[in-house]
Amino acid sequence: MTDKHKALIYCRVSSARQKREGSGLESQEHRCRKYAAERGYKIEAVFPDDITGGGDFMNRPGMVALLAYLDAHPEEQYIVIFDDLKRYARDVEFHLKLRREMERRNATRECLNFRFEDSPEGKFLETLIAAHAELERGQNRRQVIQKMTARLEKGKAVFPVARGYRWAPGKEHGGRILVRDEPVASIIAEALEGFASGRFQTQAEVRRFLEAHPDFPKPKSGRIAKSLIKDMLQRVLYAGYIDYSKWGISLRKGIHEPLISFETYQRIQERLNTKALAPARTNLAKEFPLRGFVECDDCGSALTSCSSKGRNRYYPYYLCCNKECDSYGKSIPRDRLEGEFSDLLATVRPSPALFEIASAMFRDIWDQRVALAKNLATSLRREIDAADKRINDLIDRVVDTDNATLVSAYETKIKALEMEKMRLTERLSEPTRKPTTFDDQFRTAMKFLSNPCIFWDSRRIDLQRAVLKMVFSQRLRYARNGGFRTDDMEELSLPFKLLRAPKGQSFAKRYSMVGPAGLEPATKPL
């Protein structure tokens, strides 16, 4: 048997899905083997591909491996067998380039449904068929984009499903639609709302929250990519909207159920464009929740943490790392410092009587806001009409001007007004939604105000950090031999400062009803 009878097979399908669900690669290989057997060729290797490569054969692992195999055997003259010419290349430029690469390696091409000829007519016909394949590929792509654009214009998602959603049949909408995929949808909603409200100050804290949640899907390493967190925070899809400017699809309401409100989405974008108020260390360990929050009383530097190895176990400590401080390197046992903090946090808890009064006040305010919501609808409609008028005025200016700078400025302003109009429209539709009660809306918040120790004792780092940010407005000072320096508790945030009576005073003594005589000084009767 001569060298020219040694053969290689190349077969390709356009996607991994075709490889899984069909038998394209298997049937192509079978036909090529039958073709080789009929001609007495000996098959040395098969090179499959399950991606299209976008026309460029160097993006296909199988084709790259085939060329590398030819390079590794320069003394051989292989026959490369294809099932169909379209599996060879569907782009004229890369077809001709691949032909030259094969010729340079002394490889002979053979196809089951086309006869390669080394003549002007044969090369012309080959180029013509490659051009037809390129035309067909371009037409298919255009048709797919047109269909996807039509779905996007109707508010239907078309791209790969985002985390928190899954595809489901939508008979009334025609085709598949996105529906919530629980419990992942609720986890993502909590993460997004937490970032918008400031519960999570940084993207790193959002990532730690998701990594700590057992029901959130994670890679084998357990580490979620930073790019995934940023993508989730920037996805307007989670607010119930569709936007794809690349295909001329402007922001519009989608038919899928949102995970968050559009207003929450806007707050997230504002926070992404501003510096975090309390940056979190990337190496913050859950074993030291007070790290970076408690500062040394001698120098004001934030305490850091470490663990020292003993004979049988590790001993965790907090310590000051300021070399100019008198307390530099002098450790404070973690259990002692965190135990004193727990005792301090317990003193912040309002008395049951005081909390009952505060709850009644909050309920009254809630009832007043519910009553005002009816009048709010009229005001919102007025604002929407005003936004519409400003948009129309700006459109008229765009039509009347030839200045590219002004046109760009007007378009930016129009986009901002459209976003504001959507936010107002969403608020206007809120009364039509299922009404929420005070308990449904503020159950967690009231539980937190009544006793923040419950969240601190959970030992969840995200909840513990939330307690620190929400109960205290600034860092606490700690003396190694004197404990926390919080005599006046000026470090408390406003809600807890109002709910806490000064030391040595009862609530009744600090707050009392105005007497019959009123507040004005007494005057003699005329």
Question: What CATH class is the domain 3-148?
Answer: alpha beta
Contact by Cβ (8 Å): 176, 165: no
What is the per-residue pLDDT across 200-245, written as a single tens digit (0 to 9) for each?
A: 888 888 888 888 888 898 888 888 888 899 999 998 889 888 888 8
433 has a pLDDT exceeding 60: no
426 has a pLDDT exceeding 60: yes
Start-to-end CA distance of the chain, whole Å, equals 134
Q: Is 502 exposed, middle or buried (0-12, 13-18, 19+ CB in 10 A)?
A: exposed
DSSP strands (E only) in 86-175:
108-111, 165-169
320 vs 311, residue with greater confidence: 320
What is the per-residue pLDDT across 323-345, written as a single tens digit (0 to 9) for each?
A: 889 888 888 898 888 898 888 88
In terms of CATH, what superfamily is 165-272? Putative Large Serine Recombinase; Chain B, Domain 2 (3.90.1750.20)
User: Which of 163-167, 284-288, 422-426 comes out lowest in average pLDDT?
Assistant: 284-288
Contact by Cβ (8 Å): 13, 22: yes
pTM of the model: 0.57
Contact by Cβ (8 Å): 49, 62: yes
Reading the block at residue 396, the tokens are 């008229």
CA dihedral 166, 247, 384, 179 (to 10 degrees): -10
Contact by Cβ (8 Å): 478, 484: yes
185 vs 400, residue with greater confidence: 185
Give me the pLDDT at residue 1, please: 41
Q: Where along the chain do its domains lie?
A: 3-148, 165-272, 294-349+451-503, 352-446
2 vs 321, residue with greater confidence: 321
Q: Do domains 3-148 and 165-272 have the same CATH topology?
A: no
121 has a pLDDT exceeding 70: yes
